[in-house]
Amino acid sequence: MTADMPGWLLHTPPGVILAVGVLLVPFLRGRVRGAYMLLLPVLGALHLALLPHGTAGHPVLFGQTLTLVRVDALSQVFGYVFYFAAFAGVLFSLKVRDPMQQVASLVYAGTAIGAVFAGDLITLFAFWELTAVASVFLVWASRSTRAYAAGLRYLLVQITSGVLLLSGGAVRFVQTGSIGFDHMTLAGLGSILLFLAFGIKAAFPLLHNWLTDAYPEATPGGSVFLSVFTTKMAIYALARGFAGTEILIWIGVATVIFTLIYAAVENDLRRVLGYCLINQLGFMVIGIGIGTQLGIDGAAAHAVSHVLYKSLLFMCMGAVMTRTGTARATELGGLYRSMPWTTTFCILASLGMSAPLFAGYTSKALLLKAAADTHHEWVWLVLVFGAAGIFLLAGVKVVWYAFFNRDAGLEVAEAPRNMLLAMAITAGALLAIGVHPAIVWNLLPYPVHDNPYTPGHVLGTLQLLALTVAGFALLLRTGLWPRPGRRILLDSDWIYRRALPATVTAFLGTGGRAWQGFKEAGITIFGGTVTLLARHHGPQGRLARTWPTGSMVLWVAVLLALYLVLYYFR
């Protein structure tokens, strides 16, 4: 089949069909525009399906041969789920009448897909930066002051990641003479810079706050796209470049733990989902850090599951935002009466994270097995507790406060049909993979021979989830569950939103005082000079007096005599 493809298509990076094809969107209207936008991810996925494994697209830039296309099992599995998410995201946002948002969303998706097929660091850098620039428009599309400020902060962090990637690539080229994007160790400055670049977008602890800052400010459709691409692109990059790097295990463990605590008391439910998104990245990072075949398979499979259930959760919150104008727990409640379908899909998304028959259950089983096989008992325990915690927060808490709890008196309509359809397709995919995990497992880099549906494992998971819900119910009933309040939580963004500006202001204050002193000293010296000149050249100054002609003649005679004497001594 690939033999029938035109040569240029074989050398075209996957994703470019989306990123370039979408430029026609502003010229189309109504249903034609919608149909065209839905068609683009389908065409892109077909293109990917027809590409053979191997490399293609080798232009020469600055004397370096690039590899625009590298197709293998790892890149392919990310590519397929990205195309699926792009299709579902377009369907969810179909009624949006904002060409800027529509173009930005597909350029973002297309460039993220391009990044996972990049075979060298220069190509990766180009796509990496394009995702940053395209995605910020999904935040700015909210057109509020808060969104504008959050978007600027987001862009700054994303561009920093790109600069680190470029610097790392340059240092690595000097050290190794190669621009190839392959497996590395944390042995030199170049690979450390690359690790940090990937770590920013993978939301490592302390580097994570751009996500919880910007994603809740995006448009409802924008946050669905944002929840998918940037972070999973970074997970792919870590799996490609740093598989088996042990520090990743501990970074993943820290990520899993701290995010749960923040998500417990956050009031904005989209921010709760943001923390939970980071939490699940921790699971993938642990798998990559373990680095065995099962660890990498588990991370990739969990990335697929995560794209599905997290985008479904963001769709549900997007639908709630669209209808009520808020995602704050303190302002929501009782929506199950007016939005029963959205409630159902949100419950399915919650189950999709960990419950048997859903995708999250099967991919977490691989990660747990990878930790157990390598005798990482504490890591395994963190994964078990993390699975319970994420189900509690992204699932039970979000569902409870948005759709049940007290009736907030919000009389709204059910979500629009296109949104419900997008949710239904995504929930269907979660269920299909859960029932038949081979759909994903057959795409993974290494063969998987695990059976997640042993009676013991199923029952253990049911106990874990049931007692988590029961515990939440008990804590609520006894008033021990921390109630969401109208507050924000200080996080690592405090460093660049408060501490750094305060330091700069203080520094400028100190500098200002020094400058003031310098200016005063200058004025004193200048004033002294002027006074001195005035004393000698002023109206009363000795040098400004009108001298008599006779004394002038005398002084000329003295000078001439001096000159005559000097002449004789020459």
Torsion-angle region of 28 (φ positive above 0: left; ψ -120 to 50: alpha; else: beta): beta
Pairing status of strand 64-65 against strand 60-61: antiparallel
| Integer Cα distance of 223 and 148 in angstroms | 15
Q: How far is the CB of 445 from other proteins (least distance, A)?
A: 23
**What is the Cα–Cα distance from 462 to 135, expressed in whole angstroms?**
38
CB 452 within 8 A of CB 433: no
- Taking the complex as a whole, the smallest distance from the CB of residue 354 to other proteins amounts, in Å, to 11
- Distance between CA atoms of residues 352 and 362, nearest Å: 10
Smallest distance from other proteins to CB 265, Å: 4
CB 246 within 8 A of CB 289: yes
What's the token pair of residue 229?
Answer: 């691409």
Nearer to other proteins, 260 or 433 (CB): 260
Long-range CB pairs of 56-65, under 8 A, 24+ apart, other chains included: 56/10, 56/11, 57/11, 57/12, 57/13, 58/11, 61/122, 64/120, 64/122, 64/179
Cα-Cα end-to-end distance for the chain? 104
Shorter beta-carbon distance to other proteins: residue 293 or 374: 374
Q: 352, 427 in Cβ contact below 8 A? A: yes
Contacts from 57-62 at CB under 8 Å and sequence distance 24+?
57/11, 57/12, 57/13, 58/11, 61/122
CB of 324 to other proteins, least distance (A): 18
Shortest approach of other proteins to residue 381 CB, angstroms? 8
Which three-class secondary structure state does DSSP give residue 561?
Answer: helix
Q: Which is nearer to other proteins, 478 or 549 (CB)?
A: 478
Q: Which residues of 296-315 are buried (b: 16+ CB within 10 A; e: fewer)?
A: bbbbbbbbbbbbbbbbbbbb
Closest CB to other proteins among 129 and 297? 297
Please state, in angstroms and rounded to a whole number, the distance separating the CA atoms of residues 538 and 549. Answer: 21
Supply the minimum distance, in Å, between the C-beta of residue 176 and other proteins.
40
Q: What minimum distance in Å lies between the beta carbon of 253 and other proteins?
A: 15
Nearest to other proteins of 282, 389 (CB atom): 389
Residues that bind other proteins (CB under 8 A): 260-262, 264-265, 334, 369, 372, 377, 380-381, 384-385, 388-389, 392-393, 406-407, 454-457, 459-475, 477, 480-482, 485-491, 497-498
Nearer to other proteins by C-beta: 239 or 392? 392
Distance in angstroms (rounded) separating the CA atoms of residues 113 and 107: 10
Distance of closest approach, residue 209 Cβ to other proteins, in angstroms: 12
Q: Give me the least distance between CB of 458 and other proteins, in Å please.
A: 9
User: Judged by CB, which is closer to other proteins: 58, or 483?
Assistant: 483
- Write out the two tokens for 268: 């904005």
CB of 82 to other proteins, least distance (A): 32
The dihedral formed by the CA atoms of 240, 242, 247 and 248, expressed in degrees to the nearest 10: -10
Residue placing its CB nearer to other proteins in the complex, 47 or 397: 397
Is the Cβ–Cβ distance between 157 and 199 less than 8 Å?
no
Considering beta carbons, is residue 16 or 388 the nearer one to other proteins?
388
Question: Among residues 166 and 260, whose Cβ is nearest to other proteins?
Answer: 260
